[in-house]
Amino acid sequence: MSTTRTVIGAVPSDRIITKFSQAYHADATPYQKVNFHPRVKAACQENRTGRVGLKITKAVLVGDVSVGKTCMVNRFCHDVFEREYKATIGVDFEVEKFSVLSIPVTLQVWDTAGQERFKCIAASYYRGAQVVIVAFDLTDEPSLHHATKWMEDACANADEPIKFLVGTKKDLLSPASYAEVEKLAVKYANKLEAEYWATSSKTGQFRAMLISLLNQDEQSLNVRKQEDFELERLF
């Protein structure tokens, strides 16, 4: 499935963020803010974000093998869905440009391998992540139980990241089955202090989720200079 996107300036219209999107489930989010902090708004308006500002957001995507991490990234960045499974080797990396309150922002999405043998390689890329997304397969309960360990590992090297717990492959469940899984997923999200989303990369039901990753607040302005420098060198 492919959609036509209107491009305004250098950024497609669906990448222009001016307000917070709502949480997927009102009872499964620790993030209660409904708008940008006035200081952030003012800084953006006056173009005072400088080098250490809303420039780069690093998001790492982790979770069990074959839960659908790469499909999520492909749907988000290229609006395509790949039915055939190709294991991620180590890590993959995608970059998306956004405009947040008129400030250009780069979202880096680091798609890591779920396979145990690549875990060490992938873990070295968690450092400095501002967003941690733990994906689990809504049709595979053990992948949800493993979310705790994935979150712990990914957060160990991140600096108080914004946390998401994302259930994938929603298209494979009936509404009744989904409702059952959701109850458990909401419990996990609350325990992990993460915001919960359910998605389908097949149907594309998930754009709002990643857009919400860019709901920055003051904390996200604290991108350390050293990291900024290192990340810039990657381009």
Neighbours of 198 (CB within 10 A): 21
Q: How far is the CB of 146 from ligand GTP (least distance, A)?
A: 12
Binding residue (CB under 6 A) for ligand GTP from 58, 202, 216, 223: 202
198 binds ligand GTP (CB under 6 A): no
Q: How far is the CB of 77 from ligand GTP (least distance, A)?
A: 13
Which part of the chain contacts ligand GTP (CB under 6 A), choosing from 49-57, 68-76, 190-198, 222-230?
68-76
88 binds ligand GTP (CB under 6 A): yes
Binning the chain into helix, strand and coil, the percentages to the nearest 5 are: 35, 25, 40
Binding residue (CB under 6 A) for ligand GTP from 8, 87, 95, 179: 87
167 binds ligand GTP (CB under 6 A): no
Residue nearest ligand GTP, CB atom distance? 114
Which part of the chain contacts ligand GTP (CB under 6 A), choosing from 7-15, 21-29, 198-206, 214-222?
198-206
Q: Name the one residue in this structure whose structure tokens are 């501002």.
A: 130
Please report which helix (H) or strand (E) contains residue 63, including its range.
strand 56-63
Which part of the chain contacts ligand GTP (CB under 6 A), choosing from 22-30, 93-101, 112-120, 159-167?
112-120
Q: How far is the CB of 219 from ligand GTP (least distance, A)?
A: 28
Which part of the chain contacts ligand GTP (CB under 6 A), choosing from 27-35, 179-187, 194-202, 222-230?
194-202
The encoded tokens of residue 143 equal 């992948």
71 binds ligand GTP (CB under 6 A): yes
In sequence order, what E strands does 64-203 have? 91-100, 103-112, 131-137, 162-168, 195-198
CA 73 to chain centre: 9
The encoded tokens of residue 33 equal 């803010």
Neighbouring residues of 215: CB distance < 8 A, sequence distance ≥ 6: 17, 20, 21, 31, 33, 36
CA–CA distance, 133 with 54 (Å, rounded to integer): 19
Q: Which residues bind ligand GTP (CB under 6 A)?
A: 65-71, 82-83, 85, 87-88, 113-115, 168-169, 171-172, 200-202
